[in-house]
Chain A
Amino acid sequence: MVIDHDDADDITQNVFIKLHSALKDFRGESALFTYLYKMAVNFSLNHIKKVKSKQMKETVITNDMINNISDYSNYSSGFDSDNRSRLIAEAVAILPDKQRAVFNMRFYDELSYEEIGSVLDKSVGGLKANYFHAFKKIQSFLKDKKAKGEID
């Protein structure tokens, strides 16, 4: 979800540290996997929020819009330098947070909608709609890049 390896590393460590301290309060109402996954998603979403607000503050302070655009290169730092992969990474990175979470959980982690629903507290129908719209946005992004000749 956060793409950058260093960020992912920090979040992974923090999730396990949190789990270590919170495990005594775990009541077993949900599977440990769901509990841990939910924690990881929340940490990731919080991290994304922090990064976004930091970027917005920097933009306001410096009034440098170019920095904002060039930040896309950071999103793709966790991917191969292959142009297509980089563009897809960018497309995934600009998805709305919750939509990106659904996309990652369904596409990469292959979780069932029921499992995703228990993590994000959403209905199966809503998740299916989210997943479809995520694809449509990626599709639209790639089409736009194709039109500009940035992709074959």
Chain B
Amino acid sequence: MNNSNSNYEELLYNLPDYVAGKITDENLLLRIQSELNSNPEFKAEYDLLSETYSAVKDMKFSEPPVHYFTNLVPKINEKINKQKESKGIAGFFRLSNLVKYALPAVSVVLLIFVITFSNKNDKDESMFTRYSDTISEIMKLDSETSNVSVDVETDTALESTEEEGFTDSDDASELSGIENENIIELYDENGDSEDEYFYYSDFETLSQIEQNELINTLSETKF
């Protein structure tokens, strides 16, 4: 039963080609003709299919305009050229190109940036060292040469002023220097205060060259 069903199905599926006259297999042709003669259901299918086939065959297409095919090739060429142009621009921004060109470029820029700023920091550090050295030298010079000790003798002078009625103008200027807190606080390398003070009065005790050197150093220093 299954065998005859599959046989019938096979013949049915070949029916459109039979109607169209496209079957070349002699054996298949004979089987279809035999079925048509013996099976009215198959014959009915054949008649309906023939009618439909004729209807579809008779269908008329409207032809494309005459100039269509002559314009087709130039149109395609134009589109291909446009694509090439757009690929040229868009291609530059492709990921592969970004990796190829942009990444090294950014790396070089970053490297230059880092080198520049590390040099600047070194410069600042060397200026700070120079400043510290100069101040140390000044202090050393001061302690060796000064007649008035900043820490001890200023205090003594203060006491004597209270007791004896202080009138000396030089000493008075020293006092005013202290009162105005016109001092430079010294810091160690870590930025901690060393509790040593460089007083304005000390500045006056320096020679002109030392004063100029100190002024230059201070003016170059960024606080």
Binding site for B on A (CB under 8 A): 5, 9, 12-13, 16-17, 20-21, 78-80, 82, 84-85, 88-89, 92, 106-107, 125, 128-129, 131-132, 135, 138-139, 142
Given contacts A13-B72, A13-B76, contact A139 B16 (CB under 8 A): no
Q: List 28 A–B pairs whose Cβ atoms lie within 8 Å, in order of A's numbering.
A: A5-B64, A13-B79, A16-B76, A17-B83, A78-B62, A79-B59, A79-B60, A79-B61, A80-B60, A84-B55, A84-B58, A84-B59, A85-B58, A88-B56, A88-B59, A107-B56, A125-B13, A128-B13, A128-B17, A131-B13, A131-B16, A132-B12, A132-B16, A135-B16, A135-B52, A135-B53, A138-B52, A139-B48
- Cβ of A88 and Cβ of B62 under 8 Å apart? no
* Nearest-CB residue, chain B, relative to A139: B52
- Cβ of A88 and Cβ of B55 under 8 Å apart? yes
Q: Among the listed B48, B64, B80, which residue makes an inter-chain contact with A20, where contact means beta carbons less than 8 Å apart?
A: B80
Interface of B is mostly: helix
* Nearest-CB residue, chain A, relative to B68: A9
* Nearest-CB residue, chain B, relative to A13: B76
* Nearest-CB residue, chain A, relative to B13: A128
Interface of A is mostly: helix
Shortest B23–chain A CB gap in Å is 11
Shortest A13–chain B CB gap in Å is 5
Alpha-carbon distance A28/B183, docked complex (angstroms): 93
- Cβ of B80 and Cβ of A17 under 8 Å apart? yes
Q: Among the listed A21, A85, A125, A139, which residue makes an inter-chain contact with B59, where contact means beta carbons less than 8 Å apart?
A: A85
* Nearest-CB residue, chain A, relative to B20: A107
Besides A12-B72, A80-B62, 18 other CB < 8 A contacts?
Answer: A13-B75, A13-B79, A17-B80, A20-B76, A21-B83, A78-B62, A79-B60, A84-B55, A84-B59, A88-B56, A106-B16, A128-B13, A128-B17, A129-B13, A132-B12, A135-B16, A135-B53, A139-B49
* Nearest-CB residue, chain B, relative to A124: B13
Shortest A7–chain B CB gap in Å is 12
- Cβ of A78 and Cβ of B13 under 8 Å apart? no
- Cβ of B52 and Cβ of A142 under 8 Å apart? yes
